[in-house]
């Protein structure tokens, strides 16, 4: 069983300096968008990569003030491409307006898609948060290398938060753009069928084995390499442990008699706000699906609700 002292230490102490270009590393600038919220923290981080020529990573929400801030930071420099870590609208909805001002193609992993087919009558609660219409001018693949202004960017596919999520490592540096896959302020939302807990676990393990240690996330403060306890790769591994602990907690609640996601959420998150409880229910649902795939519990799905049982349910009920 995972040890609780291996879980991540979340950091909510971050001054985004919204709308102000901040030099966070050589040839890397961050501008935080004004879209604060329970799921976006202090707002979406947009990154300008390069010096004489630029790549704009995750333009962010469709917001006039943020567009003006990005354009002012670009100045007269050419934009090689607009890139996305993924196609949730808080990262991508500014793309059309930005492209009206800069002559640049759009690069990302591929059109937004579900991590698995929807079940009959299943509702994707994240449907409205997804940019279904965006089509990449170039599809980025795992292992692709993009060169710009003396920088080599390595593409690393990391599905889990959603099917087309990717991260980007900067060669010969500790820097990695981690999107929403690894963030220091909170655990990433995984909501099926848009996302997949199994893929999230696999992608966390993938990142933790790589050499990049200083993560620039899609929201919140960087996970800095100088902090050996909480650098990016260590944090990715700690998130994996954190989710494994949650698996165990869910199994314990089910073994104790909880048969619904609502009952599990009330047992694990007894004092959370309504908005956070909705997110917690989505996360628990993703864990339930993952544990079912591993044959560690039983789910009986009905038209309007599902019942969840321990794997020894049949033996218990026959006694």
CATH number for the domain that contains residue 290: 1.10.10.10
Mean of the pLDDT values across residues 298-304? 85
Average of per-residue pLDDT across 71-83: 98
Q: Rounded to whole angstroms, what are the CA distances from 26 to 15, 29, 175?
A: 20, 8, 10
Instruction: Output phi, psi for 282, to 5 deg.
Output: -65, -45
Q: Which of 25-29, 273-277, 281-285 has the lowest mean pLDDT?
A: 273-277
- 222 and 269 part of one domain: no
Confidence band for 99, pLDDT divided at 50, 70 and 90: very high
Same domain, 44 and 149: yes
The answer to whether residues 236 and 273 belong to one domain is no
Quick one: pLDDT at residue 229? 58
Both 36 and 54 in a single domain?
yes
What pTM value is reported for the model?
A: 0.94
Query: 236 — phi, psi (to 5°)?
Result: -60, -40
Instruction: Give pLDDT, residue 272.
Output: 78
One domain for residues 261 and 234 = no
Domain that holds residue 94: 4-244
Residues 255, 221, single domain; the answer is: no
Q: Answer for the pair 306, 254: CB distance below 8 angstroms, yes or no.
A: no
CA–CA distance, 143 with 121 (Å, rounded to integer): 37
Query: Total structural domains in the chain?
Result: 2
- Tens digit of pLDDT for each residue in 128-184? 999 999 999 999 999 999 999 999 999 999 999 999 999 999 999 999 999 999 999
pLDDT at 5 over 80: no
239 lies in the same domain as 284: no
258 and 239, same structural domain?
A: no
Higher local confidence (pLDDT), 76 or 315? 76
Give the separation between CA 141 and CA 144, rounded to whole angstroms. 6
Q: Which of 244, 274, 307 is the last residue of a domain?
A: 244
CA distance 163 to 157: 9
Give tens-digit pLDDT for 21-56: 999 999 999 999 999 999 999 999 999 999 999 999
122 CA to centre of own chain: 22
């Amino acid at each position: 069983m995972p040890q609780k002292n291996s879980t991540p230490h979340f950091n909510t102490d971050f001054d985004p300096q919204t709308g102000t270009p901040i030099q966070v590393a050589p040839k890397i600038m961050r501008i935080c968008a004004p879209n604060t919220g329970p799921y976006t923290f202090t707002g979406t981080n947009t990154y300008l990569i390069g010096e004489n020529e630029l790549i704009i990573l995750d333009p962010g929400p469709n917001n006039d003030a943020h567009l003006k801030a990005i354009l002012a930071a670009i100045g007269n420099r050419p934009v090689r491409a607009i890139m996305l870590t993924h196609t949730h609208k808080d990262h991508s909805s500014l793309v059309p307006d930005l492209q009206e001002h800069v002559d640049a193609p759009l690069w990302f992993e591929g059109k937004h898609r579900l991590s698995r087919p929807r079940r009959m009558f299943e509702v994707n609660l994240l449907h409205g948060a997804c940019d279904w219409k965006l089509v990449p001018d170039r599809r980025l693949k795992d292992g692709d290398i993009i060169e710009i202004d003396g920088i080599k960017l390595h593409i690393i596919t990391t599905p889990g938060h959603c099917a087309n999520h990717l991260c980007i490592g900067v060669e010969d540096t500790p820097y990695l753009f981690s999107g929403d896959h690894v963030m220091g302020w909170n655990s990433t939302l995984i909501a099926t069928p848009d996302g997949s807990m199994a893929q999230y676990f696999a992608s966390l393990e993938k990142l933790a084995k790589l050499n990049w240690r200083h993560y620039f996330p899609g929201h919140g403060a960087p996970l800095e390499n100088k902090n050996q306890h909480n650098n990016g790769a260590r944090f990715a591994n700690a998130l994996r442990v954190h989710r494994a602990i949650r698996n165990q907690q869910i199994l314990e609640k089910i073994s104790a008699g909880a048969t619904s996601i609502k009952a599990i959420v009330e047992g694990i998150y007894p004092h959370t706000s309504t908005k956070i409880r909705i997110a917690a229910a989505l996360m628990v649902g993703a864990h339930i699906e993952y544990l079912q795939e591993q044959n560690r519990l039983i789910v009986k799905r009905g038209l309007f609700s599902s019942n969840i049982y321990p794997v020894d349910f049949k033996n218990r009920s026959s006694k």
